[in-house]
Chains A and B, each alone.
Chain A
């Protein structure tokens, strides 16, 4: 309930921005196209036969579901299908459609476990971590051997800074899933709590005995290895792992963003611009391009920044908090407004507590000269013993505030 109120408050505040943006566009004369044949929009973000087939498939499935309102299997498949579309088309719109397909079962007093797991994943991808956790706790209480439930719970717990629950959830995976997956679960936590070196070693060892991992899993683990290497200052190894991850899936936006951050830290902004195409559809990748252009003082850096600011403003209109971290980073490093960035970083810190969130909070606090905010970050840093040279340097600066 508290979350809901909070979200509404943020929503009302940000609606003002919507008014500012949309007012001109509403008054900028809606139009009528000249000819009937004029293409005015796409029914999908992707064009081409595959996308059109996906559209037809979705529509057929919805029609069948309308006939068979009790068909749980079909509803689950539609929800999964929409989640796949959300990924393929980079469009969060389909997440709400996925959840809607499950609505009849979600309204039951005890929704099926399969439905709850799916909803938890929808919710966490919308950064509704507390709600996702409620679903997951129900899942593992009812099915203590649900690997998916424990794995997602570990993830949600760690994102929100609940390391104890995360660690406990990883340990429940024993015998329920591939050993390398469990090792990755644990290594991610160890890597963020002062044991990056043994975590990396454990991960490498578990990979040798595991042959059942698919391409995506291997790509994910390579990125994890890269980040662990980077954290303990093994720059060459980190680079090797990042390239490995991208070789497995060049379109992997998360690996690309992590590699771009690594390059930015290494003052290789030029390589970032080569890595990410200008036409990227992804806001998180676009941010990296803008940061690189800003570093290099490119002529069109300002124009790129303005375009990104516009995208953030549009995203904020509906009070989603998907972009808090990226936007705070943008405002701090590109716009050079530490006070405004710190405000966003603090709000973001209340929602998620990954190493990147901690670094952002510390950077903003140092830039704004705010010792009280820095103290929050320093206390967390001391408590977790998170490693990393950049982090240590920042912390030293913060302690001198």
Chain B
């Protein structure tokens, strides 16, 4: 403490004015957010009113208070001042920036003027360099900094512009887009891996795939005779499920339909309960038992809405909705195929043993039905009591 005080009083001797600041305030920053939207550039720039007041004088009556009317009267001046102090170039040519909206925002250390703007760039700024030349306030405040957030295909980059580094260059190429796509593939895989309800539903459909439902044999099941037959069963089921959930996933993500998520969740639980019970006590008509892919398709439509809920939670960049949608779907598919690759050979190998019928199919279905019934109750009364 001694030394810090010492610092403060060093100058006091000469000017009797200086103590290092001990403040709840911070030095001046502006927050610049840029977003690529196809070839278009969208931006938001938050600039502290306190700084603008120093630069162009907002407090017209100099009463120490800034009123909305005072700011509104200066909107054009604020836009001119700020926009003449930034140059954003795609490739070699500067983009034309135009302010579309003036708003306010309260940040931690005061109120900021918010300008939303769009930029028209001569070059499509995919696969090019984005140059930013930031000069705001450096002439009146050497400690000012521009804090940039650059959103490109769902990827956020950040940078700081201090007075010593007003010009910076950012690569915005396709690899970012590819990376975004791969991320969504990952999200899809993850969702299948941790989405217990989807896994159980698939398992309930896949367990009987190595069997044939008849009037003979133990409890009406006989094993398939060839692996080819089992594989064909599985392939039709998985394909039908995929087609179905792709349809509803796309429809929901593109905003064509938007069923209430609570009902979707409840119906997903219902789908698992019904499919599981059907493996023990036939519920569905015989026509469906001959074509289990129809069940997969029907319920797949519901599961698709469930996936859409997840995808919306990921905050998709509008510009690349289709790409991320496909990525997510591919991820879900990979997850499903991994499950099949693991399950099918094992099930096929022991399909003829009584343990498969009694323990795996019957026991597994009963257990699954109980779990799913629990979900059903949870989701119906909107109260979570189960650990998964």
Contacts and interface: CB of A to CB of B under 8 A. Distances in A.
A95 B27 contact: yes
Interface stretch (B102-110, B181-189, B233-241, B374-382): B102-110
Given A19-B158, A156-B7, A188-B3, A59 B68 contact: no
A254 B5 CA distance: 7
A394 interface: no
Contacts of B19: 87, 253-254
Contact of A216 (B16, B26, B58): B16
Nearest to A159: B3
Interface in A77-110: 80, 83-84, 86-87, 89-93, 95-97, 99-100, 103
Interface string A1-36: 000100010011001101101100110001111011
Interface residues of B, number: 78
Contacts of B25: 45, 89-93
A26 B44 contact: yes
Contacts of A44: 50, 64
Given A32-B103, A93-B28, A100 B64 contact: no
Contacts of A214: 12, 16
Given A80-B15, A354-B4, A93 B68 contact: no
Given A40-B111, A96-B142, A121-B11, A35 B23 contact: no
Interface stretch (B143-151, B170-178, B198-206): B143-151
B104 A16 contact: no
A16 B22 CA distance: 25
A181 interface: yes
A42 B64 contact: yes
B287 interface: no
B67 A37 contact: yes
Contacts of A80: 15, 17
Max chain B C-beta neighbours (<10 A), residue from A31, A39, A51, A254: A254
* Main secondary structure on A side of the interface with B: helix
Contact of B57 (A59, A90, A125): A59
B221 interface: no
B18 A12 contact: no
A104 to B, nearest CB: 10
Contacts of A55: 53, 59, 62, 64
A320 B21 CA distance: 13
Contacts of B28: 93, 96
A62 B17 CA distance: 19
A12 B149 CA distance: 11
B133 to A, nearest CB: 18
A37 B60 CA distance: 13
A217 interface: yes
B72 A56 contact: no
B46 interface: yes
Interface in A239-292: 253-255, 257-258, 261, 281-286
Contacts of B149: 19
B121 interface: no
Contact of B22 (A22, A159, A253): A253
Given A18-B147, A87-B21, A31 B104 contact: yes
A165 interface: no
A32 B104 contact: yes
Interface of A: 4, 8, 11-12, 15-16, 18-19, 21-22, 25-26, 30-33, 35-48, 51-52, 55-56, 58-59, 62, 80, 83-84, 86-87, 89-93, 95-97, 99-100, 103, 117, 121, 124-126, 147-148, 151-152, 154-156, 158-159, 177, 181, 184-185, 188, 191-192, 214, 216-217, 220, 223-224, 227, 253-255, 257-258, 261, 281-286, 310-311, 314-315, 317-320, 354-356
Interface of B: 1-29, 31, 33, 44, 46, 49-51, 53-54, 57-59, 62-69, 71-72, 103-111, 114, 138-145, 147, 149, 156, 158-160, 162, 164-165
Given A43-B65, A90-B23, 8 more contacts: A37-B67, A47-B65, A99-B143, A152-B11, A159-B3, A217-B9, A223-B1, A317-B147
For the complex of A and B, the 6 pairs showing the least CB-CB separation, nearest first, are A96-B143, A36-B69, A90-B23, A30-B103, A96-B141, A41-B111
